[in-house]
Amino acid sequence: MRLLSWPSVTQLLLAPLVIASASEYNDYSENLLLKSLPGNSLLASFRFVSNGTFDSHHSVFPRSLAQILQQSQTKELHLKFTLGRWDAEQWGRQVWDGRTAGGTGVELWAWVDAADDAEADARWTTLNNALSGLFCASLNFIDSTRTIRPVMSFQPAGHHSPEGLERLHLLHGTLPREPVCTENLTPFLKLLPCKGKAGISSLLDGHRLFDAQWQSMSIDVKPVCEEDGKCQLQMEQTKPYAGGDSCFPLSGVTDLPWSLSEMFGRPIRGSCPLAVVPTEEATHVCVNIAEQRSIFVSQGSEERKKSPELRCFILHENIDFDIVLPELSPSTNLLPTTPPVYASRSLTGHGQERGGIQAVLNNPSSNSTVEFVYLESLPWFMKPYLHTLSATISGKDDRNIIQDIYYRPALDRKRGTQLEVRLRVPPGETVLLNYEFDKAVLRYTEYPPDANRGFDIAPAVISILDPASQKSTFSIRTTSLLLSLPTPDFSMPYNVIILTSTVMALAFGSIFNILVRRFVGADEVIGGGLVSKIRGHIMAFAAKRGRAGGDKPKTE
Amino acid sequence: MKLPLALFTLLSCGALAQHTSNWAVLVSTSRFWFNYRHLANVLSMYRTVKRLGIPDSQIILMLSDDIACNPRNAFPGTVYNNADRALDLYGDNIEVDYRGYEVTVENFIRLLTDRVEPDTPRSKRLLTDDRSNIFIYMTGHGGNEFLKFQDAEEISAFDIADAFEQMWEKKRYHEMLFMIDTCQANTMYSKFYSKNILATGSSKLDESSYSHHADNDVGVAVIDRYTYYNLEFLENNVQSASSKHTMKDLFDSYETEKIHSTPGVRTDLFKRDLKDVLITDFFGNVQNVEIDGEDEQKWKEDVLQLSKLAVDFTMPGRKNGTCASAKASVETSAPAVKKVGAVRVEGNKGWSRNAMGVGALLACAAAWVAGSALS
């Protein structure tokens, strides 16, 4: 009953893990940020950080993942599972600068150490296959047609030596159709030292998480080096979750009451004993809500007030922890923070032969220009025309908007299109980025079983650049698109076979008859019935025979 | 020479008629939401074999569509096999090995015969040997001697029979239980010709298999009749892995009136008497250990080698020997090769390029004029 009034709640689960390759970094910490969002939504952002080494037996860093990284020579890995749409206009900017959320479905990019491209591709395949086994996802479908090598959009987040960097190959793959479900959450929890049995990870229950409006689960592994040359590898994993419908009549008028056990189906089961001892800075749970809202927590926890709007708590190891917020009227929601860019993308045109894509990119800032890279990874059967690419501001084509273009055209059945455009949008302006494309006709066997549903096109990745360093500081994903291709009627081959057989039978039969039969008038036929016919034949034959026999002696 | 050897093998087989591991391959072959019941069938079997002790690493679960997190599912992350919704089959801990478009005839046969790509992870392989008992359960839409996969392709009874024969030749199983719930299911095992296969199906030739009941909130049928009554027997009688119920008890429990079709059992390939075959021989997990040979020294050496391998694999930093150092030196010395990738698109800024183009055109025109003048 309560849940129905709860639906408009957003939860973001953010779970990063850090591995270190020096034993002194062998530690683990976790924290949860609960943030009230406009529209009676709640963002729950879980963060798990593990430091470990490859050669330690008792590392909190999961060995299963470490082995995969070693086997495929992957130095830095970013794997994201995302479901739903982040409503930037209502909820504002994403936490952690959008780094921990991927595009709809599965998105994976990695820096692989290899001497040349062929070796990088081979290791990338190894990595994808191994991860598909570990995370129960069809990551093995990321083949050469779904892999791109972005130039401007991504920079390594970890520390790599300059010589090492020379040998690193960045590969990026997407699976926009991939569902995210409990079987993906199970291995995620198994990577954590407390396996979801204690600590904040005990809230991660598939039944509640997959009822969200938006959720993302990310695993980021990167090496982090000290000045003395000792390095650690960091992995970050996010799963954002937003639940419910917004047709609640009082939405926006009152702040609805909520509690952890109501939202997640259970309270937090103490703190994880394997995590580092919390400090003033690193607390277990933080709640970011308006100052006026009262908050009740279960006993055994210590409160640390960091600011009027941010209240944090340190959990007791063996005592369940719950947070209860009563209803408050009128609504006291915090103002949403503005993201650097609002982006949306849609298909234009009609028919099954060609189409177009339009991206609407709005800079909400009133005083600063924003510069960003727009990255598209298109399947091979969608063939864009680069000469049709245009960027317009209020109907006028402006040559100064597009700063730079990197492009790699598709090859049929071998690779997809990669398009990276660096754009500069003046304050308060909206840019329309357009291009046209042709739709290829697939072979009969290349269609998926549910071809009439359409083909998912991966979300565009927008990386906001820092004007000074030209490095990506924030990233945004558009939604995925559903492209309908000319789809045959799959029963057509049977129809064709049946029709052809019929035509063959009719044509062959009649022509054969005409060729081999002699047609005579009904009155020319001797006798009436079959018996008389046969008799007639025999008599005629006998007469012929007799005549022939009589003639014989004469000729000899 | 050959005859005594064969005789010996035969005798030793008789003496060691035990299996040392249990595996399960559970396949649902139907796509789309309205085939919810086929996924529920498979997940019910998954839950049963897991309950009786087969670990996830020895269960190959093939789910052809996403039902639990389907937008149409009113109960996200949940699959039920009964309208009372007492038991969530999806649970908190599930490992799906092949899902969605990965469930194809090709992948299924590759899995059985272990003819897979070199990069295939362990969780997607059937790593059985000649001491493994395998339980294969399939469900979907089928017909006379075929079963549809994903509404797009079919596997025929001959394909499965040949795959099983290949498994037998490669010593990939000890005994096998093949169970299938589909229309005209009994035709699917009619072509088997390999040894030690016990097969059962839900309906005979020209008979449909039916669903048991629907859940009005889920909106579709939640389980098939044959699977339902199998589960009923297993839930009520086989409470733990130490159960002494036999396959005969299970097969005797089948009633045509309840199932609404004629379930079939094929035993001619199976050499043991069904009275002696425990249900847990296929649905449960045994951990019999088979020690061959008296030589104690040999297995101690093997264990030592294995532990060395394990150390090398888990601690590459401590690798000893030339192999590791050679590899490391290769890694550092190899020069980076120019990477292929997207190419920067230049605008029409270069006048020189335009001039070159015009020049080339003029040169062609001049050559043509000169040629025509000379002729």
Contact B77 A209 (CB under 8 A): yes
Find, in chain A, the residue whose alpha carbon is nearest to that of B29: A449
Q: Round to whole Å and give the CA distance between A266 and A299.
A: 16
Domain containing B258: what range? 24-283
Contact A133 B124 (CB under 8 A): yes
The answer to whether position B12 is within a domain reads no
Contact A448 B101 (CB under 8 A): yes
Q: CA of B63: how far to CAs of A454, B25, B145, in Å?
A: 21, 11, 22
Q: Which residues on neighbouring strands pair with residue A437, listed in sequence order?
A: A355, A384
Using an 8 Å CB-CB cutoff, list chain A residues near B68: 181-182, 210
Predicted confidence at residue A546, as pLDDT, reads 66
**Cβ-proximal residues to B358 (8 Å cutoff; 6+ apart), any chain:** none
Q: Round to whole Å and give the CA distance between B171 and B9.
A: 14
Q: Model confidence over A38-75: pLDDT tens digits?
A: 777 788 888 888 877 766 655 677 888 888 988 999 98
Find, in chain B, the residue whose alpha carbon is nearest to that of A141: B102
Whole-prediction pTM: 0.83
- Provide, rounded to the nearest whole percent, the portion of chain A with pLDDT above 70: 86
Q: Round to whole Å and give the CA distance between B69 and A82.
A: 13
CA A423 to chain centre: 24
Q: Is A388 within 8 Å of chain B by CB?
A: no
Predicted confidence at residue A194, as pLDDT, reads 85
Name the band, by pLDDT with cuts 50, 70 and 90, for residue A399. Answer: confident
Interface of B with A in 54-113 (CB under 8 A): 66, 68-70, 75-78, 88, 90-97, 99-102
Taking residues A242-270, what's their average pLDDT? 69
Q: Identify the weakest region by mean pLDDT among A146-155, A267-276, A384-393.
A: A267-276
Using an 8 Å CB-CB cutoff, list chain B residues near A138: 99-102
Token output for A177: 């159709």
Taking residues A472-478, what's their average pLDDT? 91
Predicted confidence at residue B253, as pLDDT, reads 94
Decide: A294 and A258 in contact? Cβ < 8 Å.
no
Active site members of B: 141, 183
Q: Round to whole Å and give the CA distance between A257 and A261.
A: 12
Q: Model confidence over A320-349: pLDDT tens digits?
A: 999 888 888 777 767 778 899 999 999 999
Taking residues B245-256, what's their average pLDDT? 94
Residue type for position B231: L
DSSP for A338-362, written as a single string: PPS-EEEEEEE--SSSEEEEEEEEE
Find, in chain B, the residue whose alpha carbon is nearest to that of A126: B119
Decide: B112 and B167 in contact? Cβ < 8 Å.
yes
Q: Round to whole Å and give the CA distance between B9 and B202.
A: 36
Predicted confidence at residue A209, as pLDDT, reads 80
Contact A115 B335 (CB under 8 A): yes
Contact B88 A115 (CB under 8 A): no
Q: How far apart are the CA of B92 and the nearest CA of chain A, in angstroms?
A: 6
Using an 8 Å CB-CB cutoff, list chain B residues near A421: none
Q: Model confidence over B37-46: pLDDT tens digits?
A: 999 999 999 9
Nearest to A186 among B88, B94, B119 (CB): B94
**Cβ-proximal residues to A87 (8 Å cutoff; 6+ apart), any chain:** A213, A214
Contact A138 B342 (CB under 8 A): no
The answer to whether position B319 is within a domain reads no
Query: Domain with B225 in it: what CATH number?
Result: 3.40.50.1460
CB pairs under 8 A between A and B: 145
The answer to whether position B226 is within a domain reads yes
Q: Is residue B288 pLDDT above 80, yes or no?
A: no
In order of their start, the domains of chain A are 3-325 (no CATH), 342-483 (2.60.40.740), 495-555 (no CATH)
Contact B97 A136 (CB under 8 A): yes
Using an 8 Å CB-CB cutoff, list chain A residues near B95: 136, 183, 186-187
ipTM of this complex prediction, to 2 decimal places: 0.82
Contact B123 A133 (CB under 8 A): yes
Q: How far apart are the CA of B120 and the nearest CA of chain A, in angstroms?
A: 6
Q: Identify the weakest region by mean pLDDT among A297-301, A475-479, A525-529, B205-209.
A: A525-529
Name the band, by pLDDT with cuts 50, 70 and 90, for residue A291. Answer: confident
Largest CA distance in chain A: 137
The answer to whether position B159 is within a domain reads yes
Find, in chain A, the residue whose alpha carbon is nearest to that of B66: A179
Q: Model confidence over A146-159: pLDDT tens digits?
A: 999 999 999 988 88
Q: Is B341 within 8 Å of chain A by CB?
A: yes
Q: Is A245 within 8 Å of chain B by CB?
A: no
The answer to whether position B107 is within a domain reads yes
Name the nearest CA neighbour of B50 among B24, B68, B27. B24
Q: Is residue A13 pLDDT above 80, yes or no?
A: no
Contact B345 A67 (CB under 8 A): no
Q: Round to whole Å and give the CA distance between B148 and B141.
A: 6
Token output for A482: 């559903």
Contact B342 A149 (CB under 8 A): yes
Predicted confidence at residue B1, as pLDDT, reads 44
- In the block, residue with structure tokens 């969780």: B123
Task: Indicate the length of chain B as a whole number.
Answer: 375
Contact B342 A420 (CB under 8 A): yes
Q: Is B334 within 8 Å of chain A by CB?
A: yes
Predicted confidence at residue B339, as pLDDT, reads 67
Q: Which residues on neighbouring strands pair with residue A384, listed in sequence order?
A: A437
Q: Is B1 within 8 Å of chain A by CB?
A: no
Q: Is B141 within 8 Å of chain A by CB?
A: no
Q: Round to whole Å and give the CA distance between B306 and B300.
A: 10
Q: Round to whole Å and give the CA distance between B123 and B97.
A: 6
The answer to whether position B9 is within a domain reads no
Using an 8 Å CB-CB cutoff, list chain A residues near B342: 148-151, 406-408, 418-420
Contact A133 B100 (CB under 8 A): no
Q: Round to whole Å and give the CA distance between B273 and B178.
A: 17
Token output for B300: 């101690």
Q: Round to whole Å and give the CA distance between A506 and A517.
A: 16
Q: Model confidence over B301-347: pLDDT tens digits?
A: 888 888 888 877 665 555 444 344 444 434 444 555 656 778 888 76
**Based on the structure, what is the number of domains in chain B?**
1
Q: Is residue B202 pLDDT above 90, yes or no?
A: yes
Q: Which residues on neighbouring strands pair with residue A2, listed in sequence order?
A: none
Nearest to B336 among A115, A181, A209 (CB): A115
Q: Is residue B16 pLDDT above 60, yes or no?
A: no
Name the nearest CA neighbour of B200 among B252, B162, B163. B252
Predicted confidence at residue A241, as pLDDT, reads 54
Q: Is B155 within 8 Å of chain A by CB?
A: no
Q: Is A404 within 8 Å of chain B by CB?
A: yes
Token output for B147: 């079963």
Using an 8 Å CB-CB cutoff, list chain B residues near A213: none
Predicted confidence at residue A495, as pLDDT, reads 87
Using an 8 Å CB-CB cutoff, list chain A residues near B94: 182-183, 186
| Interaxial angle between packed helices B105-113 and B157-169, expressed in degrees from 0 to 180 and rounded to the nearest 10 | 20
